[in-house]
Structure 1
Amino acid sequence: MREPQIDYAAVFRALPGMVALLTPDLVYADANDDFLRLAGRTREQLLGRYIFDVFPENPNDSAAAGMRETRESMLRAVETGERDTMALLRYDIEDPQRPGHWQVHYWSPVNAPVLGPDGNVALIVHRVEEVTELIRARGGPGGDRQARVLEAELYTRSRELQQVNERLRSAHAREREVALALQAALLPTPRPLGNHRVAVRYRPAIGALNVCGDWYDLVELPGNRISVAVGDVVGHGLAAACVMGQLRSALSAAALVAEGPAQALEVLGLYARFIDGAESTTAVKAFIDWNSHTITYSSAGHLPPALLHPDGTVTFLDGATDPPLGVSPEHVRRPQADLSFAEGAILVLYTDGLVERRTEDIDTGLARLADSLARHRKSDPEPLADALLADLHPSTGSTDDTALVVIRL
């Protein structure tokens, strides 16, 4: 069956209701026929012009705030990549046929972002519902008076809703500042590990406050060795991040005294039994010894690290995997395995947000990771980390948290 050929430009112009497209700089890119008709402007008067040059605010209205609120709503959509619905607002329009004469209008606007291939906002869909006649609706005898009362009541309620929205946004902004400070305190700042090149990335799930239950850790050990780990606490947000901070710190300390990664995870498993919310946490720990060119690793239910060999082949370190933390009712020793590496190889540790998709088998995600690693095998850790996220992370963001560590061996 042949797919119909649709002229989307014609569909856009015929859409019922007022719809305009603006660039992130708030310049008109297009407008449909109803927008032009109800706004009293031609296409030539709009396209390529800044929105508030076309529709300035009524200088005769001392309480006017429509321009400021519309601009803030559009800029929020650009900054957050999320739809922004505005409360009812009054925004008068100058009569194009009678300069200096302003027509009273009431609007109910919605600003929705359109993302480009790079995941950034490319356009804003500005949809406006004209509700002037509704507000001025008459209701029988005494209709003029009732219309004025209805107009005042609706406008007052809309202003109150707008103020509530602004207070909620301010509270969210303060909460996000707290979240950012918590993230900085819980996750270590990447620093050089001798001559070894390392890159780390951290991406919270969509809707999270820029904190998550995933973590990474890097610890220098005696004898030209390092310890590296990633882990994943069940859940998102501040609660998961608080559990993550406790487990990361405990595993980091255990690595300094444990004989190997398996023993470090055993210690962490015992500690996790006393932490609410730590059940079913997954983690993988690896000790890298540059003198012997050996990786020793152990996994507590976590996805296998990937070892990219210089020839482009990829080995997944899945030879020492046991259940997640706190799952076994009795304490048992965890397995541990060794693997040799060639100079120039790359070790990648990650959490499930990088490879898992709800509609796919996990093997599909792992194969996609191996393919990306092979294609970018000549890259240094920093550009390789960016390439992996670009190849594997959805451009609109993931519904799961992601932590990523890339080490050139």
Structure 2
Amino acid sequence: MRDPRIDYAAVFHALPGMVALLTPDLVYTDANEDFLRLAGRTREQLLGRYIFDAFPENPNDPAAAGMRETRESMLRVVATGERDTMALLRYDIEDAERPGHWVEHFWSPVNAPVLGPDGRVVLIVHRVEEVTELIRARGTGSDSSRDRVLEAELYTRSRELQEINERLRRAHAREREVALSLQAAMLPAPTPVGHHRAAVRYRPAVGTLNVCGDWYDLVDLPGDRIAVAVGDVVGHGLEAAGVMGQLRSALSAAARVADGPARALEALGLYARHVAGAESTTVVKVYIDWDTHILTYSSAGHPPPVLLHPYGTVTLLDRATDPPLGARPEHVPRPEASTAFTEGATLVLYTDGLIERRDEDIDVGLARLADSLARHGQASPETLADTLLADLLPPTGNTDDTALVIIRL
């Protein structure tokens, strides 16, 4: 038996309740019948128009904040790819048949993303519950008095909630600034690595507190050698920043005395057992020896470094991967692998924010990285770092930190 075909356009227009579709630029692309009827607009008056051209703010109300709050909610959806539920909102609408006459409305909006195949937001679903009649109920006698009291109570509570949300937003913004300052202090520009060219980048997430989980480190070793690492602490904000600083310093010290990356990670793993919040941290360590042209590496649950050969092919350094720090109840030796490189090759280390996307297999992200390297790998490390970030990160910003190290071998 064949499944019946469903006309989803007809279903959309018949949906009970106000629903509209907008582009990430906040332009109407469709609206159902209830939306048109309750908003007092025709399809021609909405489609293809910027939302606040179609519904401008009431110029007669200096306290009006509906436009700002709606715009911020929709832009959060575009930036994060997550649903945003708004507090009860007053938004007056100009009568289409009587210009200059504004009608008071109370809405309860929810904005939700529609994601494309690449994980980016392609549409915003704007669902609005019309609650004006509940807030502005008309009547006579005692019923009218009770309705007025209810109206005032609900409106006051909604404003209080909005003020609380605004205070929380400002507090989160201050914490983000502190965390970013701490990140900058603990991740300074690397010192020169001899005559070799290197580039580093750190991009914080777009979310309020989604900073400070990722780090990088470059250490000069005796001879023509260096040790390079990138790591990712679980969690965000100031607590993750503190853990990151401790682990980065410990690994930097271990690299100077350990005889290889596996031993350095073993020492870090033992130290991490005594650092609250360090469990499940991922990190990869690579020793580069220009005298022997050998890379030696070990990974604690981290995405594999990428080696771009001068002739354009890409190799994943994935033959020495072990669980993250603190994942095993007992200490065991970590694996280590080596591979040769030729002069002019490029080594790329990164954190998962560069390649991972929601609802997408990690192999897709790795293939995207390999393709970008194959196309742009001959550029200088500095240019290549900027190109990879532009190619691989969403234009609206990522929801996870990203650290990136590129070394021309």
TM-score by length of 2: 0.78
Instruction: Name the residue aligned to 2:374.
Output: 377
Tell me if the contact between 2:15 and 2:32 (Cα under 8 Å) persists in the aligned partners: yes
| 1:239-318 alignment, distance < 5 Å | 239-265=239-265, 267-269=267-269, 271-279=271-279, 281-299=281-299, 305-309=305-309, 310=311, 312=313, 314=315, 316=317, 318=319
What do the CA deviations read for 1:191-250 (whole angstroms, capped 9, x no partner)? 764554445455678967232444321223343322111234455543233112111112
The range that moved more, 164-173 or 340-349, is 340-349
1:336 Cα deviation after fit: 5.2
**Structure-2 separation of matches of 1:208 and 1:406:** 28
In structure 2, relative to structure 1, the CA distance for the partners of 1:399 and 1:51 (3 Å cut) is closer
Tell me if the contact between 2:79 and 2:397 (Cα under 8 Å) persists in the aligned partners: no
1:121 Cα deviation after fit: 4.3
Instruction: Name the residue aligned to 2:176.
Output: 176
Tell me if the contact between 2:214 and 2:403 (Cα under 8 Å) persists in the aligned partners: yes
**Structure-2 separation of matches of 1:280 and 1:308:** 29
The range that moved more, 13-22 or 3-12, is 3-12
**Structure-1 separation of matches of 2:75 and 2:312:** 47
RMSD in angstroms over aligned alpha carbons?
A: 4.2
- Given residue 158 of structure 1, which amino acid in structure 2 is its aligned partner? S
| 1:75-224 alignment, distance < 5 Å | 75-116=75-116, 120-137=120-137, 142-189=142-189, 193-200=193-200, 209-224=209-224
Tell me if the contact between 1:243 and 1:278 (Cα under 8 Å) persists in the aligned partners: yes
**Structure-2 separation of matches of 1:29 and 1:284:** 46
The range that moved more, 154-163 or 50-59, is 50-59
**Structure-2 separation of matches of 1:105 and 1:268:** 60
In structure 2, relative to structure 1, the CA distance for the partners of 1:298 and 1:100 (3 Å cut) is closer
Percent identity of paired positions between Structure 1 and Structure 2 = 72
| SS at 2:35 equivalent | helix
**Structure-2 separation of matches of 1:61 and 1:368:** 49
The range that moved more, 3-12 or 25-34, is 3-12
Tell me if the contact between 2:356 and 2:365 (Cα under 8 Å) persists in the aligned partners: no
| SS at 2:125 equivalent | strand
* Count of aligned positions: 404
**Structure-2 separation of matches of 1:323 and 1:285:** 13
1:307 Cα deviation after fit: 3.9
**Structure-1 separation of matches of 2:356 and 2:52:** 45
What do the CA deviations read for 1:80-103 (whole angstroms, capped 9, x no partner)? 444332222332323222333333
| SS at 1:318 equivalent | coil
In structure 2, relative to structure 1, the CA distance for the partners of 1:384 and 1:35 (3 Å cut) is same
| SS at 1:142 equivalent | helix
- Given residue 165 of structure 1, which amino acid in structure 2 is its aligned partner? N
| SS at 2:374 equivalent | coil
1:334 Cα deviation after fit: 6.3
The range that moved more, 83-92 or 173-182, is 83-92
**Structure-2 separation of matches of 1:397 and 1:63:** 32
Tell me if the contact between 2:28 and 2:50 (Cα under 8 Å) persists in the aligned partners: yes
Tell me if the contact between 2:27 and 2:48 (Cα under 8 Å) persists in the aligned partners: yes
Query: Structure 1: which 5+ residue stretches go unaligned?
Result: none
